[in-house]
Amino acid sequence: MTTDAAGATQTTSPGTGELRFPEGFIWGAATAAYQIEGAARDDGRGPSIWDTFSRTPGKVVHGHTGDVACDHYHRYPNDVALMADLGLAAYRFSVAWPRIQPDGTGPVEPRGLAFYDRLVDTLRNSGIEPLVTLYHWDLPQALEDRGGWTSRETAEAFAEYAQAVHARLGDRVRIWTTLNEPWCSAYLGYAAGRHAPGRQDPPAAFQAVHHLLLGHGLAVQALRAAGAETLGITLNPAAVFAADEQNADDVAAVRLVDGLHNRIFFDPLLRGSYPEDVLEHVARFTPTTYIRPEDLQITSAPIDLLGVNYYSPTYVASRSGAAGSAEHPGTEGIEFLPPSGRVTDMGWRIEPVTLQRLLQRIAADYPGVPLVITENGAAYATGPVQGDDGPRVPDADRIRYLDGHLRAAHAAIQSGVDLRGYFVWSLLDNYEWALGYDKRFGIVHVDYRTQARLPKDSALWYRDVIRRNGLAAPPV
């Protein structure tokens, strides 16, 4: 018998591998608007940077777009029924900014708000808590044309958009997160160019980091003033480890990568300042005059939860002549080591214990904010087969991945981490950004030709996890 950080009792069964999560632990699934909604031109929706990027030759595999995706915009009642059948307590979804303000500012499109109104009501009527993410990468193209996240105007516009969504949904939505993975928005979008808007401009990436954080803070202030109950942000922190922890140069490489990936976000959010070593690094690329003294008070507006998206660890080594990573500007001389051992279809290393170590590190370095795993999952190319009772999708590798990471999360709770919930990525197979429809993360299989849904074995396994609020003995 143990007690978690929030004071709830949990049990383990020694020798069996069975365990239970704290009472009230939130079990959910997550999606994102552009990845599932489709209906790209319906009901006044304006173009986003992903509409533009996906139509740019060579940017997305096979030229795939999110025009149809999973057609969730029209099929959401059936998708919510699927969620209810799985026993989900909560559903994390994002609102498409271009549906609400087609040009990013100005008049609100009532038909766009009406869709989310219907979705929230359907979730509520099914006993499922909606968790709204206000920004999951689909910036209105009109704002990008005026500078995108390199511009302070975008941060200010984001707060206005957040208010508009809250004004319509705030009476039924308790939990709000502002941004999803601003690291991806800034570095993949503006430095590496692998995501929309596809720019390769490190100074712009660092400006985007700040304005994303500023937009978050302005939105938190506005939503708090409007009476929002629970506010947070979702980051994708890296669990960064040295190839040789006894090698001082490798340890220094970890420090640099950690600064660019983690501390550049955590510190302004939770400490009200940027780390000095990170600012010195950024100054190699651009003057930091875009950071106004009053901004850090805004970025550190108090939050009620911190979302953690996690998939795979990062190992680095100091290597003379190494190219570094375009996603971490200024890391020349650092080798990002290729994965070893088992990997997912993304080529990502599978090492669940690193999730435990990451959660413990966040709780130790930034105490006082409850954590939620807002994404965790794996891509595997499994498809339907004919079983004794009809078609099924066997995906034992995904079950093994999820089971391992949930055990790591439970171990973190036992060590004192205040972890309140877990959202599997993803409910549905969907549009996987620059990889199009080639990678399947869903626990529900989607036939993109017919739009038929079929819960995979992992969905049925997850349903059992939710029912018992815990895990049975590990799969063999």
Positions marked catalytic? 181, 375
**Which residues 6+ apart lie within 8 Å of 15 measured at CB?**
none
Residue 175 lies in a domain: yes
* Total length of the chain: 476
Residue 294 lies in a domain: yes
Q: Which residues pair with 375 in a beta bridge?
A: 309
| pLDDT-wise least confident of 8-17, 122-131, 443-452 | 8-17
Q: Over 90: is that where the pLDDT of 11 sits?
A: no
**Coil, strand or helix: which one is 458?**
helix
Contact yes or no for 327/319 (Cβ under 8 A):
no
Mean pLDDT (whole number) for 242-265:
98
Contact yes or no for 423/441 (Cβ under 8 A):
no
Q: Which amino acid is at 360?
A: Q
Contact yes or no for 92/374 (Cβ under 8 A):
yes
Integer Cα distance of 281 and 79 in angstroms: 46
pLDDT in tens, 113-164: 999 999 999 999 999 999 999 999 999 999 999 999 999 999 999 999 999 9
Going by pLDDT thresholds of 50, 70 and 90, the confidence category of residue 474 is: low
Q: Over 80: is that where the pLDDT of 269 sits?
A: yes
pLDDT at 1: 29
Output the domain CATH number for residue 238. Answer: 3.20.20.80
Q: Which two tokens stand for residue 474?
A: 């590990």
Contact yes or no for 439/374 (Cβ under 8 A):
no
Share above pLDDT 90 across residues of the chain, in percent, rounded to a whole number: 95
pLDDT in tens, 369-425: 999 999 999 999 999 999 888 999 999 999 999 999 999 999 999 999 999 999 999
Phi-psi region of 80 (alpha: psi -120 to 50; beta: other; left: phi over 0): alpha
Mean pLDDT (whole number) for 76-99:
98
End-to-end alpha-carbon separation of the chain, Å? Answer: 26
Contact yes or no for 432/439 (Cβ under 8 A):
yes
**Coil, strand or helix: which one is 272?**
coil
pLDDT at 136: 99
pLDDT in tens, 183-210: 999 999 999 999 999 999 999 999 999 9
pLDDT at 4: 36
pLDDT at 161: 98
CA dihedral 69→73→75→76, nearest 10 degrees, is: 120
Q: Over 70: is that where the pLDDT of 31 sits?
A: yes
Give the domain range for residue 208.
Answer: 2-314+342-465
Averaged pLDDT score across all residues of the chain = 96
E strand segments, 181-285:
230-235, 240-242
Integer Cα distance of 39 and 173 in angstroms: 24
pLDDT at 8: 37
Contact yes or no for 87/148 (Cβ under 8 A):
no
Nearest to 199 by CA among 216, 181, 212, 185: 185
Nearest to 178 by CA among 220, 141, 224: 220
Task: Work out how many domains the chain is built from and give that number.
Answer: 1
Going by pLDDT thresholds of 50, 70 and 90, the confidence category of residue 18 is: confident
Residue 401 lies in a domain: yes
**Which residues 6+ apart lie within 8 Å of 421 measured at CB?**
25, 26, 27, 28, 90, 372, 373
Q: Over 50: is that where the pLDDT of 26 sits?
A: yes
Helix axes 353-365, 396-414, angle to 10 degrees: 30
Going by pLDDT thresholds of 50, 70 and 90, the confidence category of residue 476 is: low
